[in-house]
Chain A
Amino acid sequence: MENIVSKLSTEQYEKNFQELHPPLTYGSALAESSRCLYCYDSPCMKACPTHIDISEFIKKISTDNLLGSAKTILKSNWVALTCAKACPVAVLCEGACVLNEKGDKPIEIGRLQRYVIDNYFEQGMPALFDVKPSNGKSVAIIGSGPSGLACGAELALLGYNVTIFEQSDVPGGLNTWGIAPYKMRKQDALKEVELVKSFGVSVKTGTGIGKNITFNELYKNYDAVFLGIGLGESNALSVKGEELSGVISALDFIEQVKTEDWSSVPVGKKVAIIGAGNTSIDAATEAKRLGAEQVIVLYRRSSQDMSAYNFEFDLAKKDGIIFHFLTAPKNIIGKNSVEGIECIRMEPGQPDSKGKRSVLPVPGTEFTIPVDMVIKAIGQEAQNDFISSVPGVKFVNGKIEINVENYQTGNPKVFAGGDCINGGKEVVNAAYDGKMAAHGIDKFLCN
Chain B
Amino acid sequence: MVDLSINCGGIKSPNPFWLASAPPTNSAYQICKAFELGWGGTVWKTLSEPIMNVASRLGGFDYSGQKLAGLNNIELTTDRTIEINLKEIYETKKLWPDRAIIVSLMVESKRETWHDIVKKAIDTGADGLELNYGCPHGMSERGMGAAVGQVPEYCKMITEWVTEVSTIPVLVKLTPNVTNIQMPARAAQAAKAQGVSLINTINSIVGIDLDTLRVVPNVSGKGGHGGFAGPAVKPIALHMVSQVATDPEFNLAISGIGGISTWKDALEFILLGATSVQVCTAVMHHGFRIVQDMIDGLTNWMQSKGFSNLDQVRGKSLTGLDSFGNLNLLYKAVARIDQSKCIHCNLCYIACEDGAHQCIDITPEDGHNKTVIREKDCVGCNLCAIVCPVPGCISMVRLDDGSEEKTWNNLIQDFKSEGRELSWENLAEFQKQHGIEIH
Contacts and interface: CB of A to CB of B under 8 A. Distances in A.
A62 B65 contact: yes
Interface of B: 64-66, 343-347, 349-350, 362, 368-369, 389-390
B343 A102 contact: yes
A6 B106 CA distance: 79
A30 B67 CA distance: 11
Contact of B346 (A35, A40, A62, A101): A40
B203 to A, nearest CB: 27
A31 B347 contact: no
Interface string A29-54: 01101110111111100000000000
Contacts of B65: 30-31, 33-35, 62
A38 to B, nearest CB: 8
Contact of B64 (A40, A41, A62, A102): A62
A98 interface: yes
Interface of A: 30-31, 33-35, 37-43, 62, 98-99, 101-102
Contacts of A34: 64-66
Contacts of A62: 64-65
A37 B389 contact: yes
Given A37-B389, A101-B343, A43 B350 contact: no
Nearest to B353: A40
A38 B346 CA distance: 9
Contacts of B347: 37-40
A22 B64 CA distance: 24
Given A39-B346, A40-B346, A98-B343, 8 more contacts: A30-B65, A31-B65, A40-B345, A40-B347, A40-B350, A41-B346, A98-B344, A101-B343
Contacts of B64: 34, 62
A101 B389 contact: no
Nearest to B64: A34
B211 to A, nearest CB: 11
Contacts of B349: 40
A42 B343 CA distance: 11
A101 B344 contact: yes
Contact of B345 (A30, A31, A35, A39): A39
A55 to B, nearest CB: 9
Contacts of B362: 41
A101 B346 CA distance: 13
B66 A99 contact: no
24 contacts: A30-B65, A34-B64, A34-B66, A35-B65, A37-B347, A37-B389, A38-B347, A39-B345, A39-B346, A39-B347, A40-B345, A40-B346, A40-B347, A40-B349, A40-B350, A43-B344, A43-B368, A62-B64, A62-B65, A98-B343, A98-B344, A99-B343, A101-B344, A102-B389
A1 to B, nearest CB: 49
Contacts of B390: 102
A255 B349 CA distance: 49
A35 to B, nearest CB: 8
